[in-house]
Amino acid sequence: MVFIGMSKAKLVDFLAWLKQLFLASVFPKFCLFCGKEGVWICENCFSKLLQEPILACPNCKSENPFGQTCASCREEICLDYQVSILDYQKEQVKKLIQKFKYDYVEDLSTPISRIIKNFQENFPDAFPKKGIVVPVPLHIKRYKQRGFNQASIIAEKLAKHYDFELKDLLRRNKNTNKQADLDKQQRQENIKGAFELKQQKNISHNSVILVDDVFTTGSTLNECAKVLKQHKIDLEIFGFTLARGIN
């Protein structure tokens, strides 16, 4: 048998290769944007996705070099900064994230990782050096339906490319309605009280990077930030999302 004499690491790699071979034959990949066979996003289309990041106040959307919350907005939002890589209003970006999130194509984590790596190479000092990366959690029921948490995958890639520590500090204790179907006020009410700290203990780090897939009104990230600041009031919190939409 081919497995005889294989180390555990090589066996894992071999089985992963077999899985990809099987999936490619049964479910062939086509570029999401131009239809080229063999990849989810071809090189030509990938280059068109890349852009300058969106750095703007998470509350009033005023652009500034670091995405910092304006002084006049600090009483309205707990996030101190907001960084997004892509513009959700672009059809290609919307298609990428919806395919990843709602069609459960976890394989898209590879081009998403490349997008984040490109951002890190161009903006190596976007975050403090000793921060921790915290994904926005899914409720257990939603996780079982989807099979993965897209925010956790994005957070994992961000932590890897910036060499940060990744921690699941938060738990979602409320199975909320989908935020995408609601307006700003409804989103705030829907997400209110939906998160809690997993372990009731002090947060040792001074900076946290909260990660989600899309920033629209900021209600979800802000609710997470609120919970974290209840446990450490002087905590510096960055929001990071793959894309940013409009309120």
Residue 178 neighbours by CB distance under 10 Å: 10
SS3 (DSSP) at 172: strand
Can you tell me the distance from the alpha carbon of 175 to that of 152, in angstroms, rounded to the nearest whole number? 17
pTM of the model: 0.85
Rounded to 5°, the CA angle 101-149-187 comes to 70
Q: How many CB atoms lie within 10 A of CB 87?
A: 18
pLDDT computed for residue 145 by the predictor:
83
Note the pLDDT of residue 175: 79
- Partners of 237 in the beta sheet? 208
Distance, in Å, from the CA atom of 228 to the CA atom of 196, rounded to the nearest integer, reads 8
Per-residue pLDDT of the chain (247 residues; tens, 9 = 90+): 455 556 666 666 666 656 655 555 556 789 999 999 888 999 999 999 999 999 999 999 999 989 999 999 999 999 999 999 999 999 999 999 999 988 878 789 999 999 999 999 999 999 998 889 999 999 988 888 888 899 999 999 999 999 999 999 999 998 776 776 666 777 777 788 889 998 766 677 889 999 999 999 999 999 999 999 998 888 999 999 999 997 6
Sole residue written with tokens 């009031």 = 233
Distance, in Å, from the CA atom of 228 to the CA atom of 197, rounded to the nearest integer, reads: 7
Task: Write down the pLDDT at residue 163.
Answer: 95
Coil, strand or helix at 176? coil
Surface-to-core class of residue 237, CB atoms within 10 Å of its CB (0-12 exposed, 13-18 middle, 19+ buried): buried
CB-based contact 142:131 (threshold 8 Å):
no
